[in-house]
Amino acid sequence: MTTSTPQQETKMWFGISMVLVGAVIGFAGSKMAGTAAVNPTNVPTAQGQPTPSVPEEDPVPEYASVKAIGKDDYVRGNPDAEISIIEWSDTECPFCARVHPTMIQLLEDYGDTINWVFRHYPLSFHATAQKGAEALECAGELGGNDKFWAMIDMIYEKGSDLTKFGEYAKEIGLNQTAFQTCLDSGKYATKTAEMMQAGSQAGVQGTPGNIILNHKTKKVAVVSGAQPLQNFKDAIDGLLK
């Protein structure tokens, strides 16, 4: 029987270690601008493994495949704006929190030309994301559009902490007891699930998933992840030409 020497074993384990390091670096690099959803529709492959969800290039959906602003949406900015940024987001996603100030800046820079629509995409591996989405809906139910946006501002500022959502509601001026009753009921679980499914059908595969629409020309642009401000401006300006 052939045996290996200590030197051969050292070389073998060094080679294996380098492969593992390369895999970790590659995976981390794919997450730099956003959090990818692994098999967002929870449909297993034939082998029972999740389908890879980070494409080499973001597909651009047809305008009609992205649900236009409806009664279930909360809109920040001019509701009749020519351009809408539709953001599918997750309250626990660090990249969503990072892009949040960028969105606010875009509203300031473009004024009534654009608006911002927030839709839910709670990733299953974020423990508080589902209830975070429901918390936003409860804030909207109790306080309207302004309180919906005040709640998401608060969550991204202070953290997506399930034990703190009631306190956040009180801090933005809502009745904490009524808010907690709404949140505990789970009444908005279906709505958030439907929004996530619609996002997946439109091509969203992670958070923040940003699809920009020109309602006049029906042109569409995709800016996935927490991209720099200028990347969003380039996309918006391209749609305005």
pLDDT at residue 35 in the model: 74
Q: Regarding the domain delimited by 70-240, which CATH topology (the fold level of the hierarchy) does it fall under?
A: Glutaredoxin (3.40.30)
So where are the chain's domains? 70-240
Each residue's pLDDT tens digit, 107-143? 999 999 999 999 999 999 999 999 999 999 999 999 9
pLDDT, one tens digit per residue, over 44-64 is 333 343 333 334 456 899 998
Cβ neighbours of residue 199 under 8 Å, at least 6 residues apart? 88, 119, 121, 209
- The pLDDT of residue 94: 95
Q: What is the mean pLDDT of the chain?
A: 84
The partner residues of 211 in beta bridges, in order of sequence, read 86, 222
pTM value?
Answer: 0.78
pLDDT at 228 over 90: yes
Output the pLDDT for position 67: 83
The DSSP letter of residue 126 is S
Give the model's pLDDT for residue 10: 47
CA pair distance 123, 235, nearest whole angstrom:
26
**d(Cα 99, Cα 213) in Å, to the nearest integer?**
18
